Chain A
Amino acid sequence: MSNETLIFPDMPALSPETLRVSGLELARGELTLVRDFDLEVAPGQAVLMSGPNGTGKTTLLRAIAGFIRPEAGKVRFGEQSVATAAPDMLAWLGHADGLKPGETPRQALRFWAEMAGQPSRPVLPLMRAMAIESLIDRPVARLSRGQQRRTAMVRVALANRPIWLLDEPAGPLDGGGRARLAELVAWHRSRGGSVIAATHQLLDWPDAIRIDLGAHR
């Protein structure tokens, strides 16, 4: 990785909150995946959830995002529940990138910025930070998996939300991509944002809280 310093754009200030998960119990069918799970993520922190496949990493992330209703327990952002606050508090990166094959990064990112109520000005600087600015007008279908993932990370950053939920963010990324991802996350944390990532890869983020879901049954 070259020694250039990445320059991140100015974006409106975040209003960070502490994420509090308490007593979470999740089941898939009649199998309990997670029982009595507690987590507190303050602004600026990063959480890395690891564990073999099927242990509930994705389910946990989806429960925090509010896609799944837990059997028991609560997820709160500051004082608000996930149901009311999620759209304002969360930026989501799932297994899939959320990109349409027929659209270009420019079109996609401009759309999602609009949906997030954010300006489109940071698109190009963020793409530069992820080393994909030359691909801005290439249809997503003609991008590699790694390039698509980087575009999706730009989308996450563009939303300018305090809490990032990332499911296997580094999956298709090479070493360079992982380094850029780490820089992006560090920048986000320096602004007061927090990150929760589920990953079965080794990610080298400084001062990250590591949780092994294999031990949480």
Chain B
Amino acid sequence: MSPLASIFIREARLAWAGGGGAAGPAAFFLAAITLAPLAIGPAPDLLAAIAAGIMSFAALLSVLQSADRLFGDDHGDGTAELYLLSGVTPVWLVLAKVMGQAAATLWPMPAIGLVGALMYGVPIGPALVGALALLAAIPALALIAGFAGALAAGIRRSGLLIALIATPMMVPVLIFAAGAGRSAFDGDERALANLMLTLAVSLGTTALAPFGIAAALRSRLG
């Protein structure tokens, strides 16, 4: 098995088993979806209109939840040095790592987003578009969270710092992913465009973020 595949599987297994695995982001997502109507009021028309926005927003926050552990753990227990010395190209290494963790912990998000949208009174069609947009957004969200986590690796109580760093970078994917669901609900023909843009941002992030993450990892080791 190639080293990259080993890394992917190991990171996925560690993320699955340790620290709650997929339960962490999922639980946060559910909590946020539950709290929002309590804060906003139960007016059905309002909830249906803002559902796409709330789902994307809550998903974004859920991804940030576990960001500090993504590279913070490796920084603290010496794994970062071993990874760097392993001979695997750092850019591919970090991509495999982040994707492994994302695969293990973020897979429920689109499903929860779908259920949430339905609970907010969104018809099945737009709700599916919203869920699809969330799926398309996951690579961008995971990699940006990874970048912020790598920069802040090992800093104590870095949650707030990571959120501050990551949020400006998540603005585009949030706009497009939420826009897709909203457009589908409003019926204003931009849904496909927004979906494509979400995918484009995710692909672009997949191409660029690993360089930033690898550089950040290196700079924090010295």
Contact = CB atoms under 8 A, between A and B. Distances in A.
Contact of A114 (B1, B84, B221, B222): B1
Contact of A102 (B1, B6, B18, B88): B18
B79 interface: yes
B18 A100 contact: yes
B82 A98 contact: yes
B3 interface: yes
A95 B154 CA distance: 15
Q: How many of chain A's residues touch chain B, expressed as a range?
A: 20 to 34
A99 B73 CA distance: 10
Secondary structure dominating the interface of A: loop
A176 interface: no
B190 interface: no
B77 A87 contact: no
A92 B3 contact: no
Contacts of A114: 1, 3, 6
Contacts of A92: 81-82, 85
Contacts of B6: 111, 114-115
Contacts of B85: 65-66, 86-87, 90, 92
B81 A98 contact: yes
Nearest to B10: A111
Among A88, A98, A102, A115: residue with most chain B CB under 10 A: A115
Interface in B68-109: 73, 76-79, 81-82, 84-88
Interface of A: 62, 65-69, 86-88, 90, 92, 94-103, 111-112, 114-116
Interface of B: 1, 3, 6-7, 10, 14, 17-18, 73, 76-79, 81-82, 84-88, 221-222
